[in-house]
Amino acid sequence: MSERPIGVYDSGVGGLTVVRELLGRAPGESFIYLGDTARFPYGDKSPAELKAFARQAALFLDGVKHLIIACNTASAYGLEAARSVNPAPVTGVIHAGARAAAAVTRTGPIGVIATTATTRSQAYLLALREAGHRGPVHSLACPRLVSLVEAGGAQSDAAVAVAGEELAPLRGLRLAGLILGCSHLPFVEEPIAAAFGEQVALIDPAEATVAEVLGTLAQYGELAPGRQGQGRFYVSKDPEAFARAGGPLLGRPITGVTLMAWNEEGGGHGQPT
């Protein structure tokens, strides 16, 4: 059994989808959350930048027993960079999400909504093929929806309007499944479902990822022995805005958010110990 925390890294509040799953499935687990809010959004960054960001985050989160890259864009471009500097197992959300989608359908059309960078990477297409899916894959960037969630507008009337507008290109494709390929998007699941007006299986990679990570921890006897874990939050910009937007998404107040800054060596000041 291990009392070391799980690390969760995201570009902003989106990775709280992973924290929400951890709290629901394994409330005894402690976690350290890192939101790189100063450099949000990641969707318009270059591959070189994303690799550098992931490396910095992995260095900052040194000492965790498992690192989850909750950001799909960082998972697409920075997974190996993070693994190169952090000795803990590092898991991205894309492959688990693809496996969950392939379990829904092997040949039916699957949609992927994500950031511009994730869409450009074709990471989900490759992961779906690896998972055994052989049907059409339709990818669509949804930057407005992502930014709306980060700004605290997930539960606003604007979410319905923005979802309807951005998802219009996928309507009418008779999708068998739709991967919510950005960590922010599960927080607007209802507007997304309403935009289709039909029965489409929505796949949240955070759910699949947490289930797989907890299974691995159990296999190696690394699950926390307690019943109530502790959570710590670090952000690279505006802790108050993060707490204000993130609390309603997580379903509980977020307090004690620590502001950190990246240093020249690649980690960050205010690093957890």
What are the b/e assignments for 216-232, b being 16+ CB within 10 Å?
ebeeeebbbeeeebebe
Q: Which amino acid is at 172?
A: G
User: Is there a contact between 160 and 189 (Cβ–Cβ < 8 Å)?
Assistant: no
Strand partners, 138: 111
Q: Which of 23, 182, 214, 224 is catalytic?
A: 182
Q: Which amino acid is at 223?
A: L
Longest dimension (CA), the chain: 51
Q: Which of 64, 71, 141, 249 is catalytic?
A: 71
Residue listed under structure tokens 């691995």: 216
User: Residue 38 and residue 242: Cα distance in Å, rounded?
Assistant: 11
Question: Is residue 142 flagged as an active site residue?
Answer: no
User: Is there a contact between 100 and 207 (Cβ–Cβ < 8 Å)?
Assistant: yes
Instruction: Give catalytic residues, as residue numbers.
Output: 71, 182
